[in-house]
Amino acid sequence: MKRQIAVLGSTGSIGTQALQVIREHPERFEVYALTAHRNVDLLIAQAKEFLPEMVVIADETKYPQLKAALSDLPIKVWTGADAICEVVRAEPIHIVLVAMVGFSGLRPTIAAITARKTIALANKETLVVAGELITQLALEHRTAVLPVDSEHSAIFQCLVGEGDNAIEKILLTASGGPFREWTLDQLAHATKAQALKHPNWNMGAKVTIDSASLMNKGFEMIEAKWLFAVDPQQIQVLVHPQSIIHSMVQFADASVKAQLGVPDMRLPIQYALAYPDRLESSFGRVDFSRYRSLTFEQPDLHKFRNLPLAYEAIRQGGNMPCILNAANEIAVAAFLQDRIGFLQMSEIIETTMQRASFVRIPTLDDYVRTDAESRAIAEKLII
């Protein structure tokens, strides 16, 4: 039986690559639903190719164009954020790929978990903001949450077959981004064009900026805590410029397992969609003769302050990671709009963490309120 897939965020970087995987394996996968925020032209093209049962455009101003373009096809066309939460509950869906960007992925993920759909999670903010709530719901509804991030997929692959063997340490690798060798003075004058030139990965703008600031790695540390039930102190971030080793796991006997591959997001996407099977692929293979050495170094926490801010957020717990995420979303958007400099992002995030209301045991409503309050604080800090 073909697995019916709902792709949330189908027009983004992860979404389009997921559709490449589905396109390559029509005997295994079928698109049941596609959703997008506002890229209506690409969503129309995807709908015409894959002929899903449903499509949703979150931006309601784009709905008339989408509805008209698909009027001659047997596709249900919906609009609005609530519609995305409704779509994921559809009975035929087996897997919900959450590839939406930012806080917007939280509610649809919760809706899919409560509907007992397998989650292929590419939206790291969901676990950053509400990791405790998501893990509790997944246990309660016996729902699998399969990681799509290359690093978490690597850790997951290293753990397959290990049974109850405890993790001693997770070695979370980072490329270091485009500014790995820059000085603080150079970072003070970094432009968005420079920050968007990632040396190894092809990603969307938000994730690429997070990678340049190492916030991406802070988010991934928080994700790893919840996905693999470890303490933050057990997660070591290592800069690995070649991006061939995607992460490693160290066990009690001192053995270390690593997952390697070319930097291609289609590989972890396909692994999550097909798990536990490994499917043939057209992806590139690692040519070890090209790599005379694989190198590692400690991240510079003085230059890249977002990483220690993430460790501090998860140390405090409660809604502090939600505050961290909201402030970061505002700061990254402002940087991309040339309203602030690269280093100012960390300053805005740190100040927002100091000023926002702290809730030790937050509910979903608390997360929603925290997100709104933190965004408002961060906006006021932008000159």
pTM: 0.93
Phi, psi of 320 (to 5 degrees): -65, -40
At position 193, the amino acid (one-letter code) is A
pLDDT band at 57 (very low <50, low <70, confident <90, very high): very high
pLDDT band at 102 (very low <50, low <70, confident <90, very high): confident
Query: For the segment 143-172, what is each residue's pLDDT rounded down to a tens digit?
Result: 999 999 999 999 999 999 999 999 999 999
What b/e sequence results for 108-127 when a residue is b if at least 16 CB atoms lie within 10 Å of its CB, and e otherwise? bbbbbbbbebbbbbbbbbbb
Q: Which domains does the chain have, with CATH numbers?
A: 3-147 (3.40.50.720), 164-263+295-316 (no CATH)
Q: What is the pLDDT of residue 362?
A: 95
Classify residue 106 as left (phi > 0), alpha (psi -120 to 50) or beta: alpha
Is the per-residue pLDDT at 203 higher than 90?
no
Mapped onto helix, strand or coil, the DSSP state of residue 161 is coil
The alpha-helical segments, DSSP class H, found in 262-318 are 266-274, 306-316
Separation between Cα atoms, residue 61 and residue 80, nearest integer Å: 10
Lookup: tokens for 144: 């699998």
Q: Is the peptide bond before 362 cis (omega within 30 degrees of 0)?
A: no
Helix 205-213 and helix 320-336, axial crossing angle in degrees, nearest 10: 110
Q: What is the pLDDT of residue 29?
A: 98
The percentage of the chain sitting over the pLDDT mark of 70, rounded to a whole number, equals 100
Please tell me what DSSP assigns to residue 276: T
Residue in the structure block whose two tokens are 């809706």: 111
Query: For the segment 269-324, what is each residue's pLDDT rounded down to a tens digit?
Result: 999 999 999 999 999 999 999 888 999 999 999 999 999 999 999 999 999 999 99
Q: What is the pLDDT of residue 199?
A: 78
Q: What is the pLDDT of residue 111?
A: 97
Query: For the segment 325-367, what is each residue's pLDDT rounded down to a tens digit?
Result: 999 999 999 999 999 999 999 999 999 999 999 999 999 999 9
